[in-house]
Structure 1
Amino acid sequence: MATTPVIGIDFGNESCFIGVARAGGIEVIINDYSQRDTPSFVALTSKNRMMGTSAKNQIITNISNTVFAFKRLLGLRFDDPLVAEEQKHLPQTLVATPEGEVGFRVWYLGEEAVLGVRQIVAMLLTKVKDIAEAALECKVFECVLAVPYFFTDAQRRALLDAAAIADIQVLRLLNEPSAAAVAYGLYRTSTDLPNAEQPPRHVAFVDFGSSALQVAISAFHKGKVKMLACTFDSSLGGRSFDIAIAHQLAQGFNKPGSDVTKNKRSWIRLLAEVDKLKRQMSANISALPVNVECLIDERDFAAKMKRSEMEELCAPLLERVERTLRRCLAESGLKQEDISEIELIGGSTRIPAVKTLIEQVFGKPPSTTLNQDECVARGAAIMAAMLSPSFKVREFSLTDLQPYAISLSWGGEDVEHGEMEVFPKFHSVPFSKILTFFRKGPFVLTARYADPDVGQIHKSDTISQFHIQGVKPGAQGEAQKVKVKVRLNLHGVFQVVSATMMEKQGSSQSTSEVTSETANAETESMETETSTENQESSSDTTKMDTTEGESQEGDKTAAAATQSNHPKQIVKAVDLHVDSKTSSFTQQQIQELTEREAGFRSVDNQERDRIDSKNALEEFVLNIRGRVNDSDDLEAYIEPNVRDELVQMADSTENWLYDEGEDCKKNEYVEKLQHLQNLAAPAQQRKRDHESTPRAAESFAASLNRFKKAHMAYHAGDAAYDHWTPEEAKKLEVALAEKMSWLDANMSRVRSTLKTKDLPIKAAAFLSEQQAFESSMNPVLNKPKPQPPTPPAEAAQPGKPEDAANATPAAGEKMDTE
């Protein structure tokens, strides 16, 4: 049974890379344009959608309906300050969706539409899935998606929703530097990485892409990696350098009433050329030109810039890079000499000034072990293989981290409000904890980020609310013990997994049932509840288990022995309903968007079929017109009047295609193509027959000659055929004469037939006769010679030593064996 492939997707702000895990290893998939990266662009037109390379190629002609750089807007509220900042760099108009999130106002299928960012991301993921399925020639159901460290809970949930709309299951949302760490560590040999009892190998990963900078430091041991710290600047990327350079160059070109920065098309074209300039400056220190024809108002743009000028212009940006690097080193608690290696990720790390800063901060030059563009996709594909039951991968564990501190506040009717930090900054992921509350009635838990001023949080500091239902006071009105299990799951998403009320039922003299509550952290760690229950408490209190990964079995056994002679309190665990209010879409919303996406795909398929039919007609018209006038092709096989009719019809069809036939339905193209094919088909068939029939006759003649030579050898007394009987030889002679006469007669008919006429006999008849002849005569030709008689065995002579040596032992005698 073939292994179902799983893919890893590096979902970038500018482009995506697709890694695939197959039986042969990890590969990066090439898209339908033979490119290893697929641009993160989605274009809407009056007829269909375009995603990826095709969308990016037509941005200048369809700029208002081509959506890009939408990754940063995923999961944000429309009133978030980051949205207003991002709008400055986008030519499209951003609007609020009914859910209060960011949407793009576009013109699609002849009407105005507002598409939310989740829908746009789902469209891109659909394209990525189609590319993978086309390359692998099978269905793809599972993937691992790489995301930035700074993605919040809301953004991660939004991405999971988008994947669900695209009908692909996400095995894990994997942080991008962590994916690179997996790609780095899995292929390291035992000599490259230290054993568990040795000090770890510390590696820094600097991910500097199109729109963000991330720095992470990790500790490697043989077979595992733990992420220690991460820092980021979510608004600093390669495009920041492009914008700074473009503004500088535009200052000397702008005129009153002719400002490049205010014209959408001109600004996009200038940014594209500046990006090329920036890449060239990485390898050149001399002044390099930037030229754009007819940039604005039919004026050509021309300018030059040196690398030193660029570095001086972008000095504030480089300072931000340095601060981020130094902050990560400081928060990891390590020194320069503790870092063994620095790995680079992302295209912007190729800027020489950035490389110099990395060397200054970490005290050593960066390494080039990993492919800067593809390592994240490869790491995601490796993680997908680890999580999929279809693959057996070398054992390698990843302990990731949560970059934000998460606090939990509580309140409710007659409940004193409180708050506590549940998961501190850089806490391990995935991880679970059990919190203990004493409550008389339902209460509300609110999870939020403890520091709303970092990363992309701002107004999105609230993660979710959880209403714990079904809590009631005890028999005497006292508060009941409620255990709430919270978790940071594989995706880095905060959850309340369960809530259980420990309801007291009365006392019993029987042996006590000792219960324990543990929380498995999906890594090797475990949480065990160690807080002491205050059974006499009449007020609501809250406790959190603080001991992690330690067994309390000894204490519990001793407690049981001490209390074995006393009445025991019977406690019944009652599961409580948890009503979660998160940023995720409801199942109904996802279902509606999935059906809408299916409708979009249907429209795309219909338009693709229509265009394919039109292209097939155009190709046939151009092809057949040349063939019927080519003396080496169809000209000799088509009647003059049919040729004239076909050429005239081809000319009129071509004119129709470029005029009123430019935008017709599929069936019109199919009908015209069928009519042309019907006119050309007889000539095409005659050409095939006149070419294939002589070849079939030659094959038959060669077969007859082979049998004729064998017959002549028989009459010449050849020892190879002296075992034939006279009847068999006569049978072969008669068959040869009959078939050679048939062959000569029919070849004369073929040679006398004009090329513009159908042959009276086709190649199939010659092949059929050959097969029948060979089937009948092969038993004669291939008749095996009889075996020579076996000579009689010589009688054994008594008295010879060989007799004793070769004699079989008599019954009962022993035979020595060595």
Structure 2
Amino acid sequence: MSIFEPCIGIDLGTTYSCVGIWDNDKVVIIPNDLGSRTTPCYVAFTDTEHFIGDYAYNQAIRNPENTVFNTKRLIGREFDDPVVQADIKLYPFRVIRSPDNRPQIVVQYKGEEKAFYAEEISAMILIKMKEIAEAYLGRIVTQAVITVPAYFNYLQRQATNNAGIISGLDVKCIINEPTAAAIAYGLDKKSSSEMRILVFALGGKTLDVSILTIINSIFEIKSTSSNVNLGGEDFDNRLVKFCTEDFNKKNCVDIKNNNRALKRLRTACEKAKKILSYTSQASIEIDCLAGGYDYFITMTRENFEELNIDYFSECINSVEKVLNDAFLNKNQIHEVVLVGGSTRIPKIKQLLQEFFNGKSLCESINQEEVPAYGAAIQGANIS
């Protein structure tokens, strides 16, 4: 490493977070202690301690009321916000109104009831990312660049900055995720004339589509469209629903309220979804799913696409919306950048390429790591 103070780049995601650093003239995306380059945004509380990341995620089914996730959707919002109210109905943990009308997450921790703001949970995740970087570098890290969605307002950005402060980080910059993605691909240095870039970010929970312009390395977000109710988990849900009904039809056993069976089925469906991005079919096979019955089905890519075609169409609708909002047509877009693991789905890439008349998509960097990659470059520029 250089003699300068290292400044890490953190993509603080909704479902997963990722950390990178500029090291030996290149970006290194740093794996966690389990060897994974992304870490689940889960925090779990028990009678003796709290867990962050994979360990929290892996025990969620046994401890649902005290395992907290998706808090990025709560950060910087008031309790009465429609997004907060909709999410509360889906969370297995309690969310209450604080005296200042903000959402607070309530859990049992070390034998007591504890209430946390969303930024306090985010701070725990940032501490984990900080520790991952420190283990790699062999030194204390104090500086960071953190990404946020382009649609985040002032309060959401300030709450994210506060999460960084709580975690012990000096947040040098809060950077828009589309800007980080453009920096990752070096698009700010590609041309001296105006560049118009569409960033298509489809993660586990949300779809964010943004158009930004770059002139002389100055970024401007022209328009953004966010669907906080469309992501990879929705594709999983369709697959789980199909398999649940199929299992019931074959065995006359309804598992809709069997949380353990549904968790095992969801894990198998998510794995099948990922396999279908690379092959034409995938097996979903679970021993003794429920009622003493095994479950097996072969899912084809075509079947999967049919189950989710309305969601895929929604994705293209969002692209059309940001173009209209920016008063641009698709022929005026110079580059299309893919962000998020769900952009690996072949049908989504096909629809995007067809919409943009066969344009090549920027996907050479791991889609789940693109924002952290760009944030790490920005961190190197700062340090």
Shift of 1:208: 1.1
Shift of 1:176: 0.7
**Alpha-carbon contact 1:215-1:324 (below 8 Å) kept:** yes
Match of 2:242 in 1: 248
Match of 1:53 in 2: 54
Shift of 1:290: 1.3
Q: Distance in 1 between matches of 2:369 and 2:278?
A: 21
Q: Match for 1:168: what amino acid?
A: L
Distance verdict in 2 for CA 1:240–1:36, change over 3 Å:
same
* Per-residue deviation, residues 562-595 of structure 1 (Å, max 9, x unmatched): xxxxxxxxxxxxxxxxxxxxxxxxxxxxxxxxxx
Larger displacement relative to structure 2 (74-83 or 130-139): 74-83
Q: Match for 1:334: what amino acid?
A: L
Shift of 1:88: 4.6
**Alpha-carbon contact 2:147-2:177 (below 8 Å) kept:** yes
Q: Match for 2:93: what amino acid?
A: Q
Match of 1:10 in 2: 11
Match of 1:162 in 2: 163
**Alpha-carbon contact 2:213-2:220 (below 8 Å) kept:** yes
Residues 1:325 and 2:319 are matched in the alignment: yes
**Alpha-carbon contact 1:160-1:170 (below 8 Å) kept:** yes
* Per-residue deviation, residues 402-437 of structure 1 (Å, max 9, x unmatched): xxxxxxxxxxxxxxxxxxxxxxxxxxxxxxxxxxxx
Q: Distance in 2 between matches of 1:328 and 1:129?
A: 35
Shift of 1:42: 0.9
* Per-residue deviation, residues 589-621 of structure 1 (Å, max 9, x unmatched): xxxxxxxxxxxxxxxxxxxxxxxxxxxxxxxxx
Match of 1:379 in 2: 374
- The 3-state SS of whatever aligns with 2:185 is helix
Match of 1:80 in 2: 81
Shift of 1:108: 1.4
Q: Match for 2:81: what amino acid?
A: D
Distance verdict in 2 for CA 1:69–1:297, change over 3 Å:
farther
Structural mapping, 1:266-277, within 5 Å: 266-277=261-272
Q: Distance in 2 between matches of 1:204 and 1:267?
A: 37
RMSD (CA atoms): 2.5
Question: Which of 279, 295, 320 lines up with 2:289 in the alignment?
Answer: 295
Distance verdict in 2 for CA 1:106–1:264, change over 3 Å:
farther
- Higher normalized contact order (CA 8 Å, seq sep 6+, divided by chain length): 2
Residues 1:285 and 2:248 are matched in the alignment: no
Q: Percent identity?
A: 34
Q: Distance in 1 between matches of 2:308 and 2:334?
A: 29
Match of 1:642 in 2: none
Q: Match for 2:305: what amino acid?
A: E
Extract unaligned runs of 5+ from structure 1: 392-818
Q: Distance in 2 between matches of 1:257 and 1:153?
A: 52
**Alpha-carbon contact 1:185-1:225 (below 8 Å) kept:** no
**Alpha-carbon contact 2:179-2:219 (below 8 Å) kept:** no
Distance verdict in 2 for CA 1:194–1:252, change over 3 Å:
closer
- The 3-state SS of whatever aligns with 1:253 is helix
Distance verdict in 2 for CA 1:204–1:161, change over 3 Å:
same
Question: Which of 206, 210, 216 lines up with 2:204 in the alignment?
Answer: 210
Shift of 1:89: 3.9
**TM-score of the superposition, structure 1-length normalised?**
0.44
* Per-residue deviation, residues 5-38 of structure 1 (Å, max 9, x unmatched): 0111001112111011346442211211122111
- The 3-state SS of whatever aligns with 2:319 is helix
Q: Distance in 2 between matches of 1:96 and 1:257?
A: 42
**Alpha-carbon contact 2:236-2:270 (below 8 Å) kept:** yes
Q: Distance in 2 between matches of 1:5 and 1:291?
A: 46
Shift of 1:265: 3.3
Q: Distance in 1 between matches of 2:379 and 2:350?
A: 35
* Per-residue deviation, residues 754-781 of structure 1 (Å, max 9, x unmatched): xxxxxxxxxxxxxxxxxxxxxxxxxxxx
- The 3-state SS of whatever aligns with 1:67 is strand
Match of 1:265 in 2: 260
**Deviating 4+ runs (over 6 angstroms):** 255-258
Q: Distance in 2 between matches of 1:311 and 1:39?
A: 26
Q: Distance in 2 between matches of 1:226 and 1:359?
A: 24
Shift of 1:171: 1.6
Distance verdict in 2 for CA 1:77–1:111, change over 3 Å:
same
Match of 2:136 in 1: 135
Distance verdict in 2 for CA 1:352–1:324, change over 3 Å:
same
- The 3-state SS of whatever aligns with 1:260 is coil
Q: Which has the higher Rg, Structure 1 or Structure 2?
A: 1
Matched positions, count:
380
Structural mapping, 1:155-234, within 5 Å: 155-185=156-186, 188=189, 193-196=190-193, 200-221=194-215, 223-234=217-228
**Alpha-carbon contact 2:200-2:336 (below 8 Å) kept:** yes
**Alpha-carbon contact 1:8-1:377 (below 8 Å) kept:** yes
Shift of 1:145: 0.9
Match of 1:542 in 2: none
Q: Distance in 2 between matches of 1:313 and 1:357?
A: 16
Distance verdict in 2 for CA 1:31–1:251, change over 3 Å:
same
Q: Distance in 1 between matches of 2:320 and 2:120?
A: 38
- The 3-state SS of whatever aligns with 1:30 is coil
Distance verdict in 2 for CA 1:303–1:83, change over 3 Å:
farther
**Alpha-carbon contact 2:150-2:210 (below 8 Å) kept:** no
Structural mapping, 1:583-662, within 5 Å: none
Q: Distance in 1 between matches of 2:13 and 2:313?
A: 24
